[in-house]
Structure 1
Amino acid sequence: MGTLYYGDAASPIEIEDRALAHVKVVIATKLRRGESFTLSWAHGEGQEPGRSTVWLHPSIPLRFAFTEAEPALLSRAWIEELATSANSSGGLMIVPEPERGGETGPR
């Protein structure tokens, strides 16, 4: 299970490593462009039911921590799906990975 540390939030955001690797690509791309947007996710097992949203801004510290030492192979289709949601008015929504295929090397 990977962890996303955002600003001085009291609780880090836990996201499965493979999903976090894909989310990282989309977030880094948008923040590199100076774009602010929201990130939303459903709470995982063992957490309070529901979902959360944070506002991502280039000036707020952000750190991605992965359980696995080796980078995940990335799915172009998943990155494109996540990027499309990040560019919408609803913001980046962590959605399940589409059927695997078209994987690329780590980024």
Structure 2
Amino acid sequence: MGTIYYGGSDTPIHIEDRALSHLKVVIATKLRRGESFTVSWRHPDDQPGGRSTVWLHPSIPLRFEFDAAETPDLSRAWIEELANSANSSGGILLVSEHVEPSRTIAALS
């Protein structure tokens, strides 16, 4: 389980390592361009139900931590889906991966 630490919040955001690896690519691209946006996700099954949204801005500190030492192969299709949602008015909606083994790419981080 990976973790995002955002701004001065004491509450870490836990996201599965593979999903966080893909999300990191899209977030880093948007922030490198100086773009602000939201990221939304459903709460994991082991937490109270619901969903959360955070506003990401290039000036706010952000740190990603991964349990796994190795970066997984990344799915180009999943990155494109996340990037497309990032460019919408609703921001990034973290959705499940649609597995297409032939469309994976070497680790990008």
**TM-score range normalised by the length of the shorter chain:** over 0.9
Distance in 1 separating the partners of 2:17 and 2:49: 21
Instruction: Tell me whether 1:21 sits opposite 2:21 in the alignment.
Output: yes
Give the secondary-structure state (helix, strand or coil) at the position aligned to 1:52.
strand
Scaled by the length of structure 2, the TM-score of the pair is 0.96
The superposition leaves residues 21-80 of structure 1 with CA deviations (integer Å, 9 ceiling, x where unpaired) of: 000000000000000000000000221110000000000000000000000100000000
Structure 1, gaps ≥5 residues long: none
Distance in 2 separating the partners of 1:7 and 1:76: 29
Q: What percentage of residue pairs aligned between the two structures are identical? A: 66
Q: How many aligned positions are there?
A: 107
Distance in 1 separating the partners of 2:99 and 2:15: 19
Partner of 2:98: 98
Distance in 2 separating the partners of 1:17 and 1:100: 18
Distance in 1 separating the partners of 2:51 and 2:68: 25
Is 22-31 or 1-10 further displaced after alignment?
1-10
Distance in 1 separating the partners of 2:83 and 2:48: 27
Scaled by the length of structure 1, the TM-score of the pair is 0.97
RMSD value over aligned CA atoms?
0.7
Give the drift of 1:99. Answer: 2.0
Partner of 2:40: 40
Distance in 2 separating the partners of 1:6 and 1:55: 10
Runs of 4+ with >2 A deviation? none
Distance in 1 separating the partners of 2:75 and 2:87: 18
